[in-house]
Structure 1
Amino acid sequence: MELLKQITDYLQQQKLKLATAESCTAGLIVSELARVPGSGQCIDCGLAVYSPEAKNRYLSVSFDTIDTYGLTSEETSREMALGALNNNDANITVANTGIAGPEPHDDIPVGTVCFAWAFLHDQKIYMMTETRRFSGDRNDVRLAAAHYALERIPKYHRDVLNGSAPLDE
């Protein structure tokens, strides 16, 4: 709970409003953050988008991106984060897609999660992506991925503020 409180405090202090676009965590990122009293001030929305059609319909993820790179890819998570940023009242979005289990898919091991964090700052969009692998059963992977997504927010936001974060191009 301490991590969640720290993230909520950071979002509030920095006047950040979060939208999530979640596939393998199915809304757990925003749900975990919502455990903290007062967190509603810094949450715009949480979208759980599993199917390619939902990713396209709600987040404008290109079917070409999914076909070329796969559902579990940084490219897909990047487009999910951008779609969430463009379609909501948020200045930070976190997106993920991955294989929580119980079986690997398309030779991608269980526990593989691709993340994207998008920040709108000074009318510019900054984007960071990562792929991580978590251990445990399906729900262990989901919870670890949700907490990882949240704990990276302050680091990446500080990178945006100090000019070391990459612009989205």
Structure 2
Amino acid sequence: MSLSTQVLDAAKERGIMIATAESCTGGMVAAALTDIPGSSAVFERGFVTYTNQAKIDMLGVSPATLDAHGAVSEEVAREMAAGALSHAPVNLTVSITGIAGPGGSEFKPEGRVCFGIADANGVNSETVEYGALGREAVRASAKDHALALLLERLQTR
């Protein structure tokens, strides 16, 4: 059974509605969930906020947070997840912001991806360093990690 199917089944069992807030994955998590027939029972919407302005406009991410920490940070990932929770009639959100590559810097290397997950119990975040695996591999890995975070949160409810 695919990770997406497991997430949808767990959400259905618990009556949980989900939204995503994605940057570097450009909607891949939303696509993975909506590839499954019947996903509309638990998947409400996906926000693709690729630019900083989109993060501000669509999710309410603070310009001060972006200025202080940059888009690729746990602080922004947390605000993205919390923003999706407050801008959609859902119970659970996941966010992704990162540097899929090519490129990066000494301080924000290629393959760094920050995740946020939010529900009524609060917002958590984490960073995964995938390294310079290439854009496609980093994005696919980030999508799978976000799905795993959703499943983990659903299984602890």
1:126 aligns with 2:90: no
Task: Give 2:39's aligned amino acid.
Answer: S
Out of 143, 154, 169, the position equivalent to 2:151 is: 154
State the distance in 2 between where 1:23 and 1:132 align.
Answer: 15
Which range moved further: 103-112 or 32-41? Answer: 103-112
Paired residues, what number? 156
Task: Give 1:151's aligned amino acid.
Answer: A
Gaps of 5+ in 2: none
- Call closer, same or farther: CA 1:95–1:128 in 2, change over 3 Å: same
Conservation of the 8 A alpha-carbon contact between 1:119 and 1:157: no
Q: Secondary structure at the match of 1:127?
A: strand
State the distance in 2 between where 1:66 and 1:97 align.
Answer: 12
Conservation of the 8 A alpha-carbon contact between 1:12 and 1:41: yes
Match of 2:141 in 1: 144
**Identity across aligned pairs (percent)?**
38
* Structure 1 moving runs of 4+ over 3 Å: none
Match of 2:101 in 1: 101
Task: Give 2:100's aligned amino acid.
Answer: A
Length-normalised TM-score, structure 1: 0.87
State the distance in 1 between where 2:100 and 2:43 align.
Answer: 25
Gaps of 5+ in 1: 162-169
Match of 2:21 in 1: 21
Task: Give 2:82's aligned amino acid.
Answer: L
Match of 1:167 in 2: none
State the distance in 2 between where 1:50 and 1:5 align.
Answer: 26
Q: How far does residue 106 in structure 1 lie from its aligned partner after superposition? A: 6.2
Match of 1:81 in 2: 81
Match of 1:53 in 2: 53
